[in-house]
Structure 1
Amino acid sequence: MTEVTSGPRTSGWQPRSGMPQYADRPRFDVEKVRADFPILSREIDGHPLVYLDSANTSQKPRPVLDTLTSFYEGHNANVARAVHTLGTEATEAYEGARAKIARFVGANAPGEIVFTKNSSEAMNLVAYSFGHQGADVDPRFRLGPGDEVVISEMEHHSNIVPWQLLCQRTGATLRWFGITDEGRLDTSALDELVNERTKIVSYVLQSNILGTINPTSAIVARAHEVGALVMLDASQAVPHGPVDVVDLGVDFLAFTGHKMCGPTGIGVLWGRAELLDAMPPFLGGGEMIETVRMEGSTFAPAPARFEAGTPPIAQAVGLGAAVDYLTSLGMDAVRWHEKEITAYALDALTEIPGLTIFGPAVPVGRGGTISFALDGVHPHDVGQVLDAEGVAVRVGHGCARPTCARFGVPAVTRASFYLYTTTEEIDALVRGIGSVRKLFG
Structure 2
Amino acid sequence: MTQLPGLLDTEAIRKDFPLLDRVVHDGKKIVYLDSAATSQKPRQVLDALNAYYERHNANVHRGVYTVAEEATALYEGARDKVAAFINAPSRDEVIFTKNASESLNLVANMLGWADEPYRVDHETEIAITEMEHHSNIVPWQLLSQRTGAKLKWFGLTDDGRLDLSNIDEIITEKTKIVSFTLVSNLLGTVNPVETIIRRAQEVGALVCIDASQAAPHMVLDVQALQADFVAFTGHKMCAPTGIGVLWGRQELLEDLPPFLGGGEMIETVSMHSSTYAPAPHKFEAGTPPIAQAVGLGAAVDYLSAIGMENIARHEHAITEYAVRRLQEVPDLRIIGPTTAEDRGAAISFVLGDIHPHDVGQVLDEQGIAVRVGHHCARPVCLRYGIPATTRASFYLYSTPAEVDALVEGLEHVRNFFG
Interval containing the TM-score (normalised by the shorter chain) = over 0.9
Residue type matched to 1:38 in 2? P
Determine which of 178, 192, 203 is the counterpart of 2:180.
203
Offset at 1:131? 2.6
Name the structure, 1 or 2, with higher relative contact order (CA <8 Å, separation 6+): 1
Query: Is 1:35 paired with 2:12?
Result: no
Separation in 2 of the partners of 1:378 and 1:192?
Answer: 38
Which residue is 1:186 aligned to?
Answer: 163
Aligned to 2:70: 89
Q: Distance in 2 between matches of 1:199 and 1:379?
A: 39
Aligned to 2:39: 58
| 1:106 and 2:83 matched | no
Which amino acid in the other structure matches residue 63 of structure 2? A
The answer for the alignment partner of 1:433 in structure 2 is 410
Q: SS at 2:160's partner residue?
A: coil
Partner deviation per Cα, 1:326-352 (whole Å, 9 max, x = no partner): 000000000000000001101110011
- Name the SS of the counterpart of 2:172 in structure 1: coil
Kindly provide the amino acid, as one letter, of the partner of residue 91 in structure 1: T
The structure 1 segments of at least 4 consecutive aligned residues displaced by more than 2 Å after TM superposition are: none
The match for 1:152 among 122, 126, 129 is 129
For residue 359 of structure 1, the aligned residue among 322, 336, 339 is 336
**Separation in 1, partners of 2:345, 2:379:** 21
- CA–CA separation in structure 1 for the residues paired with 2:106 and 2:10: 37
- 2:3 pairs with one of 10, 18, 21: 18
Aligned residues: 417
> Which of 206, 209, 225 is the equivalent residue of 2:202?
225
Amino acid corresponding to residue 380 of structure 2 in structure 1: T
TM-score of the two chains, using structure 1 as the length reference: 0.93
- The answer on whether the counterparts of 2:266 and 2:282 sit within 8 Å (CA) in structure 1 is yes
> What secondary structure, in the 3-state scheme, does the structure 1 residue paired with 2:103 have?
helix
Aligned-residue offset at 1:225: 1.2
Please name the residue that 2:99 is paired with.
118
Letter in 2 for 1:28: L
Point out where structure 1 has 5 or more consecutive residues left out of the alignment.
1-14
What is the distance in 2 between the residues matched to 1:428 and 1:240?
A: 23
Deviation at 1:28, TM superposition (A): 2.3
State whether structure 2 residue 308 is matched by structure 1 residue 331: yes
- The residue aligned with 1:281 is 258
User: Percent of aligned pairs with the same residue?
Assistant: 62
CA distance in 1, matches of 2:8, 2:359: 32
The 2-side partners of 1:59 and 1:76 are apart by: 24
Structure 2 residue aligned with 1:311:
288
Structure 2 letter corresponding to 1:74? R
Q: CA offsets per residue over residues 118-165 of structure 1, 9 Å max, x none? A: 000000000001232xxxx44132122221000000000000000000
CA RMSD of aligned residues (A): 0.9
What is the CA–CA distance in structure 2 between the aligned matches of 1:159 and 1:41, rounded to whole Å?
Answer: 35
How far did residue 18 of structure 1 move?
2.9
Give 3-state SS (helix, strand or coil) of 2:122's partner.
Answer: coil
